[in-house]
Amino acid sequence: MNDNVHDLKMPSFGADMATGTLVEWLVKPGDSIKRGSVIAVIDTHKGAIDLDLFEDAIIEALLVEVGQQVTVGTPIARLRSLGPSAAAEQESIDSHNRPDNRQDNRQDVTNEALPNVRQDAPEFILATPAARAFALKQQLSLPLLYAANNNRIVTLKMAETAFTQGGRFQPAQTIVAEKREKQQSGFDNHAMRQAISDTVTRSKQQIPHYYLSQRLDISALEHYLQNYNSKVSAEQRILLAAPLLCAIARTLIKNKQLNGVYANNTFSANDTVNLANAINLRAGGLVMPVIRDAQTLTAPLIMERLKEQVERARSGSLRVSELSDGSCTVTSIGERGAEQMFAVIYPPQVAIIALGSPHQEAMVVDGIVQVRSIIEATLAADHRVSDGHVGARLLYQLNQQLQKPDQLWSI
């Protein structure tokens, strides 16, 4: 094998995932594929997920057949990476599919010998006692670590590194799918509830949460939005969620202690805001697709992302790249319901912002009582990383930003 040729392995979408089934190939040998393109559909017990490529490459060979179930880490396709000059000649793709360096590392590029496809029960995994204890404590999956480390004995160092990387070795995001035709739902509700239960339990056990609440005056924003929507077609209308996410992203980038990941007793601030947005699906599932570099997007662009992601969430075609690397989460009650919500931080993140339903309140503005549109926002944050005044500053700045809605429509 020459240097450009390497194997794409069956990725993991959660610590409890040991195998995946190749449901559909969307490419064939000889195809030249651009970064971000979906090349296969993989089925896990939690539902189907689209596998997208993290690089420009040519498909050299497909190593697994449709319908074949393989363990995580098994090579499923042989790729020949295309050089940077070749990539530049190709058409530009959606910038939000462009991964950062950390994701490239997680692609497990290797030229070593390939493990056999295993379809029997998981074997005893070789790991040092320290690694075993660490994995148990952090709820990492030994089979996944073993496979991802090319079937070498799992050491404590490997486990710690994997834990820092998050995502693939932990129950990071839960995934849901509906069958592509209008039939019975394709995901395992019980498995999903179990995954959510595990995550929130772990969060509450390990993360010392502190809570702050702030009323956001969205009167100016509502007015601006109404005006904007009256001038565009229905397809271009923007929902309140979009400028809210926009404002939150722009405020988060200025408050680094709330935007990043905590692992291995260390906090790493993110240099960009990958904003995870909690979406409740009709059949009862919960997904949190990530809007990458959200602080660089305008409200209309965020609306586009939201539409795409809701659509993909519904059809079970969310991509690996949009379910990983969240640096903070926003969750919201929606338009009707509770006025205030306190949320649970989603590890390894360190903060979560929850938005209540918009409602009107009598407030004193400039010395007189007025009727204002209000959203109660709460922040739950990791006290190991930040103190109350940091959280308070974020909420204050957020409210200030929302008083200048026109700024959210431009960069």
Partner 1 sequence: MDNQQIKAIILEELGNIAPEIEASDVPDNEDLREALELDSMDFLNLVIAVSKRTHVAIPEADYQQVLTLNGMTRYVQNLLA
Q: Site residues (CB under 8 A) for partner 1?
A: 178, 182, 185, 226, 229-230, 233-235, 237, 239-241, 280, 282-283, 306-307, 310, 334-336
Residue 54 or 228 with smaller CB distance to partner 1: 228
Residue 105 or 236 with smaller CB distance to partner 1: 236
Closest among 358, 236, 363 to 304, alpha carbons compared: 236
The string of DSSP codes covering 31-80 is -EE-TT-EEEEEEETTEEEEEE-SS-EEEEEE-S-TT-EEETT-EEEEEE
Structure tokens at 315: 């059809």
Binning the chain into helix, strand and coil, the percentages to the nearest 5 are 35, 25, 40
CA distances from 303 to 35, 77, 242, 291, 404 (A): 23, 35, 5, 10, 18
For the CB of residue 78, give the shortest distance to partner 1 in the complex, in Å.
Answer: 38
- What sign does the CA torsion over 317, 319, 324, 330 have? negative
CA distances from 211 to 38, 193, 204, 218 (A): 40, 25, 13, 21
For the CB of residue 239, give the shortest distance to partner 1 in the complex, in Å.
Answer: 5
For the CB of residue 67, give the shortest distance to partner 1 in the complex, in Å.
Answer: 26
Give the whole-angstrom CA distance, residue 74 versus residue 83: 25
Give the whole-angstrom CA distance, residue 248 versus residue 70: 41
Residue 159 or 238 with smaller CB distance to partner 1: 238
DSSP 8-state class, residue 245: H
Residue 61 or 239 with smaller CB distance to partner 1: 239
For the CB of residue 339, give the shortest distance to partner 1 in the complex, in Å.
Answer: 17
Q: CA-based angle 131:134:139, to the nearest 5?
A: 120
For the CB of residue 257, give the shortest distance to partner 1 in the complex, in Å.
Answer: 31
Burial 73-96 (b: 16+ CB within 10 A, else e): bbbbbbbbbbeeeebeeeeeeeeb
Residue 190 or 336 with smaller CB distance to partner 1: 336
Coil, helix or strand for 142?
A: helix
Residue 121 or 234 with smaller CB distance to partner 1: 234
Residue 85 or 230 with smaller CB distance to partner 1: 230
For the CB of residue 3, give the shortest distance to partner 1 in the complex, in Å.
Answer: 46
For the CB of residue 230, give the shortest distance to partner 1 in the complex, in Å.
Answer: 6
Closest among 347, 392, 55 to 172, alpha carbons compared: 347
For the CB of residue 41, give the shortest distance to partner 1 in the complex, in Å.
Answer: 19
Residue 101 or 226 with smaller CB distance to partner 1: 226
